[in-house]
């Protein structure tokens, strides 16, 4: 595994499977009360320029369970929020802490942080990528389906950070990936080039949700308007009409198709209340697995190497 977790494009299939296997073991240890304090006296700096529930709680709890300590740094309250160059913040935090997690807007800021920090950097979310969430998704799919290879993953909705990371992660793990996104809201060009040039026979992008959902083993969606896009809500509601995961769409999927949603969910928009509640156990298993997948990343980056 690389020295950082910045985006799914940086990981090999072997890296992903190692993270998932480590996450399974750490989840077992935690559920059975076994000591796994592998990060004693280690400190993680957590920079938040976007609001968070799951990312903050799971990373902070995960560091505690691993025997370490996490520090919360709000973008508004730290010097980075007052214009300090990110490379200077990186060099300071790298001298104080053993790792850095950042949840922000620009992927370039995460890449620059990693360039200058001198310690492992973890992308907790950017507008381009959400690798921690997708690792948790893959972990949950494997728990419920016992495998990843050969499954059909269907993504319905905005071609956002989730779509970018799911396409890459799913394809690298041997899944067929079908995505349905409206024109003007497609996944990033770098991701589409990667998918089409390396996995053209098992990747499909279309504008018709019913076409993508046919015989799907896993159905995934996300909100129509992500953080920072609230001003586009009305326009996006028009663009995404017909892109709801509902009973009609689920009827086209394979029997036993599971549903994933990174949360928070807007019932009645990207997913119907009926489908959400019918698959709530899978969705909240996915939310829980943020903790275990991120603990695996923390251990592999901050513990195993030292």
103 is catalytic: yes
> Which of 137, 158, 222, 285 is labelled catalytic?
222
Catalytically annotated residue among 54, 103, 261, 292: 103
Contacts 24+ apart (CB under 8 A), 260-264: 260/137, 260/140, 260/141, 260/218, 260/219, 260/220, 260/286, 261/220, 261/221, 261/222, 261/286, 262/130, 262/133, 262/137, 262/162, 262/222, 262/286, 263/54, 263/287, 264/53, 264/223
Neighbours of 144 (CB within 10 A): 16
Q: Within 13 Å, how many C-alpha atoms sit on residue 30's CB side?
A: 21
Question: Which of the residues 65, 107, 133, 260 is marked catalytic?
Answer: 133
193 catalytic residue (yes or no): no
Token pair, residue 159, equals 């071609």
Q: Which of 181, 244, 262, 279 is catalytic?
A: 262
Q: Is 130 one of the catalytic residues?
A: yes
Q: Where are the alpha helices (DSSP H) in 200-303?
A: 209-213, 233-239, 247-250, 273-278, 280-298
Assess whether 35 carries a catalytic annotation. Answer: no
How much of the chain is helix, strand and coil, in % rounded to 5?
50, 15, 35
**Which residue among 4, 142, 290, 292 is the active-site one?**
290
Question: Taken in order 148, 150, 152, 153, is the CA torsion positive or negative?
Answer: positive
Give the catalytic positions in this structure.
103, 130, 133, 222, 262, 290
């Amino acid at each position: 595994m690389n020295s950082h977790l910045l985006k799914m494009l940086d990981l090999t299939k072997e890296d992903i499977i190692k993270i998932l296997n480590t996450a399974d073991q750490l989840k077992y240890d935690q559920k059975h009360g076994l000591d796994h304090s592998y990060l004693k006296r280690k400190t993680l700096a957590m920079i938040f320029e976007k609001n968070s529930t799951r990312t903050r709680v799971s990373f902070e709890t995960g560091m505690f369970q691993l025997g370490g300590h996490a520090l919360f740094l709000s973008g508004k309250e730290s010097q980075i929020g007052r214009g300090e160059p990110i490379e200077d913040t990186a060099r300071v935090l790298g001298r104080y802490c053993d790792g850095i997690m950042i949840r922000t807007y620009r992927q370039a800021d995460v890449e620059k942080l990693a360039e200058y920090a001198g310690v492992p950097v973890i992308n907790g979310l950017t507008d381009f990528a959400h690798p921690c969430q997708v690792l948790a998704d893959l972990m949950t799919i494997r728990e419920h389906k016992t495998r990843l290879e050969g499954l059909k993953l269907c993504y319905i909705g905005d071609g956002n950070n989730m779509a970018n990371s799911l396409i890459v992660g799913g394809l690298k793990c041997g899944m067929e990936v079908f995505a349905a996104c409206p024109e003007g809201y497609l996944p990033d060009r770098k991701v589409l080039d990667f998918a089409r040039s390396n996995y053209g026979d098992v990747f499909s992008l279309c504008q018709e949700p019913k076409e993508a959902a046919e015989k799907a083993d896993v159905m995934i969606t996300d909100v129509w308007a992500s953080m920072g896009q609230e001003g586009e809500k009305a326009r996006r509601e028009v663009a995404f009409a017909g892109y709801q995961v509902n009973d009609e769409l689920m009827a086209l999927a394979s029997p036993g198709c599971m549903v994933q949603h990174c949360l928070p969910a807007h019932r009645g928009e990207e997913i119907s209340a009926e489908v959400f509640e019918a698959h709530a156990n899978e969705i909240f298993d996915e939310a829980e697995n943020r903790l275990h997948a991120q603990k695996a990343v923390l251990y592999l980056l901050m513990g195993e190497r030292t």
